[in-house]
Chains A and B, each alone.
Chain A
Amino acid sequence: MKLIFEKGAPGQHLSLLPACDVPEVEIVSPRAEAPELPHLSETELTRHYTALAKRVHGVNDGFYPLGSCTMKYNPKINEDMANLPGFTNIHPLQPEETVQGCLEVLHTSAKLLGEITGMDAMTFQPAAGAHGEFTGLLLIKAYHKNRGDEKRTKIIIPDSAHGTNPASAVMAGFTVVNVPSGPDGCVDVEALRSAVGPDTAGLMLTNPNTVGIFDRNILEITKIIHDAGGLCYYDGANLNAVMGVVRPGDMGFDVIHLNLHKTFSTPHGGGGPGAGAVGCKALLAPFLPGPVVEETENGCHLAVPEHSIGRVKNFCGNFGVVVRALTYVLTLGQEGIPEAAKNAVLNANYMMKRLSEKYTMAYAGPCMHEFVMDLQDLKAATGCSAMDIAKGLLDHGIHPPTMYFPLIVHEALMIEPTETESRETMDEACDVFLALWDLAHENPQALHDAPTRTPVRRLDEVGAARNPVLKYTPND
């Protein structure tokens, strides 16, 4: 398919832009060369983007059980609210008294999300999960530094963690200490006990963890860290399993990030944009990035916390995303939030049970909101790998599960259906998974050749990684 730069011809144009309502100014130092912008008619432009839209797969197209990513449906009411003129026709430098409604959105969101997670304060500046991790770690660093305890340089991370955890810790200037998981997929408590010391700055943990298991020793784990003088960071990637049921704050966590684009139904993927809100207990609140919203008798104000680590993004972050997340929380309410979490867990267990008929589970059930299958025995018996099954799913209009993650399971497929899928959709998907298992035994070559019905066939991932072409060069 042609790029937009390869379409159209000089002289073609369209009139989608509204009339200019400010005085026109001539640019004093014009470019030496005109930028190579496409010249397209409105018809051509519409067809181009429609063609692109037909080639992608999103939650609006079909099942998308991408483990640890919570690809739930994004209710359209979220868009209606975010498109209200009071939210769209504003400027971040406008006087506070003229945007009180917007400040109230931020304040109310912090309060409600704080209640769901057991946190006292929150910033919406971070633009995504890993950005939130980085921010949370800077809070931990600032906390220790402020107490004059500069020896705390190590962050403890279990081997089942998301890859972003150690990366964020290193970015924040810490050294990473890896602790192994036990055979049950949970943190090895004794290994943790021997890993802590006066150099422990904190722990990063996801609960339920990446194998879909709620770590039942969580209170002991956070106590071991606190007793050693460290703080506990909760990676909110898997909050969908427990939101409104149990609170990270009550598990002993001091700081968390929330992926509003996962758990709270705001757009995810394709640039989102995302929002990695960071919540913390009162002891870390003075270090939060500024500004944060404070409520007074005279309305809401933006203020910078006393020992703020500084900005991590301009203004108040991706504000429109917060409007969508708040809409979701208010739509579901106090009863709907835990009900969504419970249905997410129920759906995952339903699929796990049906797929157990043929597939080997990495850990025995019941699971939380996701589960991991181990395809090592299928690969040994048929030569078909987790990758081949994933490619086979594409031919059936299903987005593959997360592959080869977590690293502690070798031929891993990690499935997270979310609560927004019907039993019928899950049954259809299970039928496809089970049929692919049979196909692997009957005709493995067919799976090695998959996909055959997609716009492009199997991509050369090795070639793309070894020789990435990252720049478009126009044809003269």
Chain B
Amino acid sequence: MTFPAELKYSKDHEWVKMLDGATALVGITDFAQSELGDLVFINLPQEGDEVTADEAFCDVESVKAVSDVVSPVTGVVEEANTELEDEPQKLNEDPYGAWIAKIKDISAFGELLSAEEYEAFIEKK
């Protein structure tokens, strides 16, 4: 399981990659995809959606269950990764490459951890 050092992580198992001061890519962590199992469907946010830190903005479905994806930031969806609609398995195969949404106008962050802190957090679970 990998946790790239350049990313930030939420306790709800999302990652954040800052592109500039107010724009970021978000996705789900390697730990999240491994816990969820093989993903078969994603319900993506729409361009222009306002998202709020610590509130669900997307959901993913595995053969086990449907799970909310909780936004780690407050902002506006600039773009959703529509490639995932046809190939949700990319979330399993390449969790840090398969970003879910690009969020712009970020005005607030939820609690975010460093790679080291996140790894320690999931080990405790």
Is B89 an interface position by the 8 A CB rule? yes
Docked pose: A163 CA to B68 CA in angstroms: 13
Measured in the bound complex, the distance between the Cα atoms of B87 and A466 in whole Å is: 8
B38 CB within 8 Å of chain A: yes
Interface assignment of A461: CB less than 8 Å from any CB of chain B: yes
Residues B37-80 near A (CB distance < 8 A): 38, 40-41, 61, 63-67
Q: When chains A and B are docked, how far (Å) is the Cα of A271 from the Cα of B27?
A: 39
Q: Report yes or no: B65 in contact with A461, Cβ–Cβ below 8 A.
A: no
- In the assembled complex, B88 has its CB within 8 A of some CB on chain A: yes
Interface pair B66/A461, CB less than 8 Å apart: no
Number of interface residues of A (CB under 8 A): 10
Q: Which residues of A contact B (CB under 8 A)?
A: 163, 403-405, 407, 410, 461-462, 465-466
What is the interface of chain B, defined by CB distance below 8 A to chain A? 35, 38, 40-41, 61, 63-67, 88-89
A9 to B67, CA, bound (A): 49
Tell me, rounded to whole Å, the shortest Cβ–Cβ distance linking A354 to chain B: 27
Q: Which of A163, A405, A461, A465 contacts B41 (CB 8 A)?
A: A465
Q: 19 pairs across A/B with beta carbons < 8 Å?
A: A163-B66, A403-B64, A404-B64, A404-B65, A405-B65, A407-B65, A407-B67, A410-B35, A461-B63, A462-B38, A462-B40, A462-B63, A465-B40, A465-B41, A465-B61, A465-B63, A466-B40, A466-B88, A466-B89
A466 to B63: give the CA distance in the assembly, Å.
10
Q: Which residue of B lies closest to A465 (CB)?
A: B40
Alpha-carbon gap, A466 to B61, bound state (A): 11
Closest beta carbon of chain B to A180's beta carbon, Å: 13
Q: Tell me, rounded to whole Å, the shortest Cβ–Cβ distance linking A350 to chain B.
A: 29
Contacting residues, chain B, for A404 (C-beta < 8 A): 64-65
A-B pairs, top 5 by smallest CB distance, nearest first, are A465-B40, A404-B64, A462-B38, A461-B63, A466-B40
Give the distance to chain A from B43, nearest Cβ to Cβ, in Å. Answer: 13
In the assembled complex, which residues on chain A have CB atoms less than 8 Å from the CB atom of B61? 465
A403: which B residues are within 8 A, CB to CB? 64
For B67, the chain A residues whose CB sits under 8 A away are: 407
Residues of B within 8 A of A462 (CB): 38, 40, 63
